[in-house]
Structure 1
Amino acid sequence: MTEQATNSAAEDQAPQFSLQRIYVRDLSFEAPKSPEIFRQEWRPSVELDINTRHRVLEGDFQEVVLKLSVTVKNGEETAFIAEVQQAGIFLIKGLDASAMSHTVGAFCPNILFPYAREALDNLVTRGSFPALMLAPVNFDALYAQELQRMQSANQIPA
């Protein structure tokens, strides 16, 4: 009986991670210069902005949101602006603060990115523009850069 109780307590303390749901939280597309933009030679320049945020839901559930914002210009004119907020609900428990921070700041966005990239690509092609084909993103490196920036600004302990 004691061994069973010990095993149950150990299982409760063991780290757990489970993806519960992936969904589009917000989606927008704007082509302010259409239809004139379609009659011009296509020489696009792409600006990509990536942000993440998370919030604690009830219990050990976390919502993580990956936001991709793309502005594409053709010469000096804005061809389109597209944005997707891809979200996921994750069950995460048994992690210390550092591991939890890395999980919601890098691991979860890595899971969400392919879904966000596909949603953004689909949105852009529906606007009659060429597919974006965004390159993979190293969220671990972005997370490390953000930690370093925050540490140098004395916003978090080392």
Structure 2
Amino acid sequence: MAEQKQNAQDTQESQDPSFSLQRTYVKDLSLEMPNAPQIFLEQEGPTVEVSINVGGQRLAETIYEATVTATVTTRIEDKVLYLIEATQAGIFEAANIPAEQLDPLLGIVCPTMLYPYLRANVADAINRTSLPALHLAEVNFQSLYEQRLAQSAQEEQQGGQDSGLILPPGATRQ
């Protein structure tokens, strides 16, 4: 009787949803200063452009890799002061997660967990240039996820409408 109870409990536990971060790592990090050292003589303040992108892939049945990439381009007038691209990745285990919850988990929760590591790596790389520190602002990954969903829905709607453009074989709308 006790053995049956234990087996039933083990079966229930194996069916319970589970999610955990297994590992984080820097997947890519590059820093370019194409106009150094002449750019250091400029007196003007720089402009900063930041782009954030989220990605991921399934590695095994319950194992996923999620990535967050930041591209930071800093310019003085039309000259690049520095360009940094960093990709922070993580390995996550997600078992018994309902299919409708898996995409938001990978598109919102995982990037939110990885982003602090990415911010620290970008700040450290910029600090090593001897230029003033740059700390990336907080990102609302839920909002970004919802924007991507809305954009995908809009592209699907427009895909059914004729834009008047004739595309060569194999080409897709951008």
Q: Same fold (TM over 0.5)?
A: yes
- Partner of residue 154 from structure 1, selected from 146, 153, 156: 156
Q: Select between 93-102 and 28-37 the one with higher mean Cα deviation.
A: 93-102
How is 1:4-153 mapped onto 2 (pairs within 5 angstroms)? Answer: 4-153=6-155
Larger C-alpha radius of gyration, 1 or 2?
2
Please name the residue that 2:162 is paired with. none
Structure 1's consecutive aligned runs of 4 or more residues displaced over 6 angstroms after TM superposition are none
Q: 1:150 and 1:82 mapped to 2: Cα distance?
A: 28
Report how far residue 42 of structure 1 moved: 4.0
Unaligned runs of 5+ in 1: none
Deviations 1:12-69 (A, max 9, x none): 1111011111110111000011001111114111111111111111231111111111
Q: 1:112 and 1:84 mapped to 2: Cα distance?
A: 12
What is the CA RMSD across the aligned residues, in angstroms? 1.4
Q: 1:124 aligns to what SS in structure 2?
A: helix
Task: Considering Cα pairs closer than 8 Å and 6+ residues apart, tell me whether 1 or 2 has the greater RCO.
Answer: 1
Aligned length, in residue pairs: 155
Report how far residue 95 of structure 1 moved: 1.0
TM-score by length of 1: 0.92
Percent of paired sites with the same residue: 37
Q: Return the letter of the residue paired with 2:141.
A: F
TM-score by length of 2: 0.84
Q: 1:133 aligns to what SS in structure 2?
A: coil
